[in-house]
A and B are shown apart, each in its own frame.
Chain A
Amino acid sequence: AQSVSQHNHHVILSEAASLELGCNYSYGGTVNLFWYVQYPGQHLQLLLKYFSGDPLVKGIKGFEAEFIKSKFSFNLRKPSVQWSDTAEYFCAVNARNQGGKLIFGQGTELSVKP
């Protein structure tokens, strides 16, 4: 069965610091990968997605993620965070031969200090 693990539960950064959030999945087959963001009191919104091709994908608001197949990882990065990036971030995986099943990780809460 597919599963997703986010190792950082709560990250606290100062503005302008660089960000990297880890995401690892356990599934040996072909996967689609996603990062979602949830701002306080809101629903989840898509940050970026990876289906195939260039393993470095760029999303909205300056976020990017790198798919490393050998490490089963899809880490999220941003060179310089802003206070407005304070939110909870979720990694999600859809294994292509498991139909529509979409599994999320535990989430990482990011707090950015002004």
Chain B
Amino acid sequence: NAGVTQTPKFRVLKTGQSMTLLCAQDMNHEYMYWYRQDPGMGLRLIHYSVGEGTTAKGEVPDGYNVSRLKKQNFLLGLESAAPSQTSVYFCASRPPTSGGRTEAFFGQGTRLTVV
């Protein structure tokens, strides 16, 4: 049981390049999230999904797109990378229950540097 797996773990991009980060979970969770972690800023929610085929904007969605075509996968795309998107990206998943009384499980993170 792998839990939440993020691919890749490290990446260096040039400004203007595009890339997709993959998050895969094998726990059959409905909810999935993408966060970015920056020093002094904590974790900021980029986008999230409450089920297959659904996505919603979080706190800092600009410059990112997401897709949830399969329940177990949540993809985060950067169409034209900018240095301001240099960050550590965390994916999380969470099972739904009445009233949201469940914890989130996190992946190991993806360290992205845009030069």
Name A's B-contacting residues (CB within 8 A): 6, 9, 30, 32, 34, 42-46, 49, 51, 90, 92, 94, 96, 99-107
Contacts and interface: CB of A to CB of B under 8 A. Distances in A.
B96 A51 contact: no
A107 B101 contact: no
Interface residues of B, number: 29
B43 interface: yes
A102 B94 contact: yes
Contacts of B33: 100, 102
Contact of A102 (B41, B45, B99, B107): B45
Main secondary structure of the interface of A (DSSP, over half): loop
Interface in B86-102: 90, 92, 94, 96, 99-101
Given A46-B103, A99-B100, A100-B31, A107 B94 contact: no
B61 to A, nearest CB: 12
Contacts of A96: 99-100
A101 B56 contact: yes
Given A100-B48, A102-B33, A104-B44, A32 B100 contact: yes
